[in-house]
Amino acid sequence: MTLKPLIPLLLAAAVPAAFAQGDREAVHTFQVDLDAQGRVTSIDPVDAIPDATRAALQAHIANWRFEPRDGATQATRTYLRVATAGESSATSTPRIISASTGPAMTHLTQPVYPTSELRRGEGGVVVLEIAVGADGRVHDVGFHGDRQQATRSMAQAARDAALAWQFTPEQVDGQPVASTVVVPVCFMAVNPDPYSCTWQGPEARNLSRYAVVNLDPVVRVDIPSQQIAGF
């Protein structure tokens, strides 16, 4: 069995049991700008997205409510991260697994899979709490929660890799701001089952492997529950 560590940008979230086995999973990032009154002025994809998928997602996003932190009366910019399963076609649209706001992930390096665990075929989940500076660089990496579902070697490998990651920070009044994000790193088989790598986030919420949580986003998003497929 071939194993490798997985970080959220590279593999999609655990999918609902109702999802088809062959569903394509992906993460799409949008830049969202709000004016000083908290009104959305633009929602633009950061990376290339197929036209049909982009149109379908933007139609959903147009109905979501974005709220500046603490009722800020300054222009803000955030990055909306949307995990999906399935593809757009004449008869269907991608199903939304999760969506969150925060800094955009721009450069991620894979952790090195510890040799002993790789030889044994052992997997695990490391949940990192990462301090991202206003410069987009990682300033500190800790572990989120009291217990990690991984060996000490996996935890160290995940932390070492995260120290080199880079982000595009959120902005308030045109100035980049620091943030703290919680990110799962999964050491697992290449073909995981639908519930592989779930983890417990803030407020004891069970989250999928594609979920990234910003502990203090400059803009929060409120999404109708019926539009989220969950996992």
Start-to-end CA span in the chain (Å): 25
Decide if 217 contacts 80 (C-beta within 8 A): no
Q: How many CB atoms lie within 10 A of CB 208?
A: 25
Q: Which tens digits make up the pLDDT trace of 42-71?
A: 999 998 888 888 888 888 888 888 888 877
Q: How far apart are CA 127 and CA 229, in angstroms?
A: 23
Q: How many CB atoms lie within 10 A of CB 138?
A: 18
Q: How far apart are CA 30 and CA 86, in angstroms?
A: 19
What pLDDT is attached to residue 79?
96
What pLDDT is attached to residue 222?
86
What is the count of structural domains for the chain?
Answer: 1
3-class SS of residue 163: coil
Among residues 155, 158, 124, 152, which one has the least CA distance to residue 138?
158
Residue count of the chain: 231
3-class SS of residue 6: strand
Any idea what the CATH number is for the domain that residue 195 is in? 3.30.2420.10
Q: How far apart are CA 83 and CA 230, in angstroms?
A: 10
Q: Which domain holds residue 31?
A: 3-227
SS3 content of the chain, % helix, strand, coil (to 5): 15, 40, 45
What pLDDT is attached to residue 8?
52
What pLDDT is attached to residue 116?
92
Q: Report residues of the chain scoring pLDDT below 70.
A: 1-23, 87-92, 189-195, 204, 226-231
DSSP-assigned letter for residue 206? E
| Alpha helices, H only, the chain | 51-61, 115-120, 152-162
